[in-house]
């Protein structure tokens, strides 16, 4: 499998080169030349396969011969060694819980897969690798955990000051060792822009070996398709595939789901649930895309005004608006609706959502009102405890603290405070 740049000005790269570079030299995102089809009989017999077999089958064509089969199988097994249960909430809505990994967030899968792939690829490189990552919340903690202690790799995480939850901030600022957190006085788009500028800076790249751990990196983006296979494996009515609603910020997760769908996984329809950062929602209403300044909401990991992976969604459907609109709908959910959904679902159904899951639930409810014969799945992307400062006042009781969270609550954060000025950031990297 070869990858081209979405800006179409760069030579093709294999999975190894695309993973190591992160972003294409022409500033585009790497995208697979083709979407492979699943093996004959795979879907019909999906109940017979283990989680490891499903993940290996889905990802191997994208990796090609850049990683030996046995090594890739080991990477996959280590990536998904926790549960992905499908839990019924109402008669028509189920939750695929993606928060049972080490940092209690769906980003654990992509971060663990990429860290292991990169660790394999850099074995023969006699240069320290610096991984740059911008986070609006969960990416930072997952990347920090996935890369912690990996030999030959330093990780620099940029996050917007005051715009991630207290638990998220502790997860990315308390590890130390090869993990550095930079607290930016700005929003997520400012953080993402600094990372993109660093990759585009030829002189900086001569000095440092840079790569990215955001979902712009194919090794972070593509393994997210595993979720959708696990959802369908647990779906009992195989003849009537589910509608899948994804809380969407940078749009990497839902784009990975679309890759699974185009490979041959049955999905009736996708719903992109967004908060007030609704540039893709507006595109689906009008056919015109316009980025916007990110605004802060209760579902902070989705506070992205210019989603990087929107271009991949367009590539998947050949930039044809009718094809995109046929595959995915979108709903924009306010903070007031998020709180009301969180409270109502807890009181009526004894199911506690996190703010992002609440956005997805509200979005799927709106879609199902328009399509009452359908049933659907939300992706519950984080444990509610990661947002206890939002959730507890709504449900008026404490959220249970898992052991992994209790261990960091009393730790002191260590971060480098910085303005969103590229020159300052560059000088820090070089120092």
Question: What is the per-residue pLDDT across 361-397, written as a single tens digit (0 to 9) for each?
Answer: 999 999 999 999 999 999 999 999 989 999 999 999 9
| Confidence check: pLDDT of 194 > 90 | yes
Max CA pair span of the chain: 60
Handedness of CA 81, 133, 62, 259 (dihedral sign): positive
Backbone angles phi, psi at 144, to 5 degrees: -60, -45
Give dist(CA 402, CA 314) in Å, integer.
Answer: 39
Cβ proximity of 294 and 161 under 8 Å:
no
> DSSP per residue over 175-212, as a string?
--TTEEEEEESS-HHHHHHHHHHHHH-HHHHHHSEEEE
Q: Which domains does the chain have, with CATH numbers?
A: 82-105+221-399 (3.40.50.1100)
- Determine the pLDDT at residue 220: 94
CB of 67 closer than 8 Å to CB of 120: yes
CA–CA separation, 393 vs 388, rounded Å? 8
CA dist., res. 164 & res. 376, Å (int) = 29
HSE-CB at 181 with a 13 A cutoff on CA atoms is 30
pLDDT in tens, 234-270: 999 999 999 999 999 999 999 999 999 999 999 999 9
Active-site pick, 16, 21, 51, 107: 107
For β-strands 129-134 and 209-212, DSSP reports them as parallel
The torsion defined by the Cα of 398, 402, 407 and 410, in degrees rounded to 10, comes to -10
SS3 130: strand
Half-sphere exposure of 155 (CA within 13 A, CB side): 33
107 catalytic residue (yes or no): yes
For residues 120 and 75, what is the distance between their CA atoms, to the nearest angstrom?
A: 10
Cα–Cα distance for residue pair 252/355, rounded to 1 Å: 19
CA atoms within 13 A on the CB side of 380: 26
Question: Which tens digits make up the pLDDT trace of 28-40?
Answer: 999 999 999 999 9
CA dist 107 and 113 (Å) reads 10
Strand 2-5 versus strand 243-247 pairing type: unpaired
What pTM, to 2 d.p., does this model score? 0.90
pLDDT at 394: 97
Three-state DSSP class for 153? strand
What's the pLDDT at 156? 96
Tens-place pLDDT, residues 105-124: 999 999 999 999 998 998 87
- Number of helices (H) and strands (E) in the chain: give both, helices first: 19, 14
Note whether 36 and 222 are within 8 A (CB). Answer: no
Q: What is the pLDDT of residues 328-355, one digit of tens each?
A: 999 999 999 999 999 999 999 999 999 9
Distances (CA, A) of 79 to 82, 137, 156, 210: 8, 20, 22, 23
Strand partners, 271: 245, 329
Q: Smallest Cα–Cα separation from 387: which of 101, 168, 160?
A: 168
| Closest C-alpha among 47, 361, 64 to residue 229 | 47
For residue 379 the two structure tokens come to: 């992706």
β-strands 376-380, 243-247: how paired? parallel
Please classify residue 268 by burial: count the beta carbons closer than 10 Å to its beta carbon, then call 0-12 exposed, 13-18 middle and 19+ buried.
middle
Q: Which of 105, 99, 59 is nearest to 83 (CA)?
A: 99
All residues at 6 or more sequence positions from 17 whose CB lies less than 8 Å from its CB, including other chains:
none
The yes-or-no verdict on residue 137 having pLDDT over 80 is: no
Q: What is the pLDDT of residue 282?
A: 97
CA distances from 60 to 42, 66, 108, 254, 284 (A): 14, 10, 19, 20, 32
């Amino acid at each position: 499998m070869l990858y081209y740049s979405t800006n179409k000005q760069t030579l093709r790269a294999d999975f190894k080169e695309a993973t190591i570079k992160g972003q294409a030299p022409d500033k585009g995102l790497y995208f697979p030349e083709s979407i492979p089809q699943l093996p004959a009989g795979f879907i019909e017999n999906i109940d017979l396969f283990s989680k490891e077999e499903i993940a290996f089958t889905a990802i191997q064509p994208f990796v090609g011969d850049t990683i030996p089969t046995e090594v890739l199988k080991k990477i996959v097994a280590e990536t998904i060694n926790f549960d992905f249960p499908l839990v019924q909430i109402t008669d028509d809505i189920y939750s695929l819980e993606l928060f049972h990994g080490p940092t209690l967030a769906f980003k654990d899968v992509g971060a663990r897969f990429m860290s292991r792939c990169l660790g394999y690829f850099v074995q023969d490189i006699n240069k320290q690798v610096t991984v740059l990552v911008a986070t609006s919340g969960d990416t930072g903690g997952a990347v920090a955990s996935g890369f912690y202690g990996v030999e030959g790799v330093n990780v620099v995480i940029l996050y917007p000051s005051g715009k991630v939850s207290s638990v998220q901030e502790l997860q990315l600022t308390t590890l130390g060792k090869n993990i550095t957190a930079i607290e930016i006085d700005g929003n997520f788009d400012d953080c993402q822009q600094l990372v993109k500028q660093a990759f585009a800076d030829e002189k900086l790249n001569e000095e440092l070996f840079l790569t990215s751990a955001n979902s712009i990196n194919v090794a972070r983006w593509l393994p997210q398709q595993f979720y959708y296979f696990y959802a369908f494996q647990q779906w009992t009515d195989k003849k009537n595939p589910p509608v899948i609603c994804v809380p969407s910020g940078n749009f990497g997760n839902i784009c990975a789901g679309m890759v699974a769908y185009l490979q041959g996984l049955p999905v009736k329809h996708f719903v992109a649930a967004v908060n007030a950062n609704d540039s893709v929602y507006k595109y689906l209403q009008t056919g015109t895309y316009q980025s916007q300044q990110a605004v802060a909401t209760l579902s902070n990991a989705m506070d992205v005004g210019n989603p990087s992976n929107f271009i991949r969604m367009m590539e998947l459907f050949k930039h044809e608006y009718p094809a995109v609109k046929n595959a995915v709908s979108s709903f924009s959910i306010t903070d007031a609706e998020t709180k009301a959904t969180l409270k109502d679902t807890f009181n009526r159904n004894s199911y506690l959502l996190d703010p992002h899951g609440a956005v997805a639930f509200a979005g799927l409810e709106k879609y199902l009102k328009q399509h009452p014969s359908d049933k659907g799945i939300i992706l519950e992307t984080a444990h509610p405890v990661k947002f206890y400062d939002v959730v507890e006042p709504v449900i008026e009781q404490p959220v249970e603290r898992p052991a992994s969270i209790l261990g960091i609550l009393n730790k002191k954060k260590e971060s480098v405070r910085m303005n969103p000025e590229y020159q300052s950031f560059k000088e820090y990297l070089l120092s």
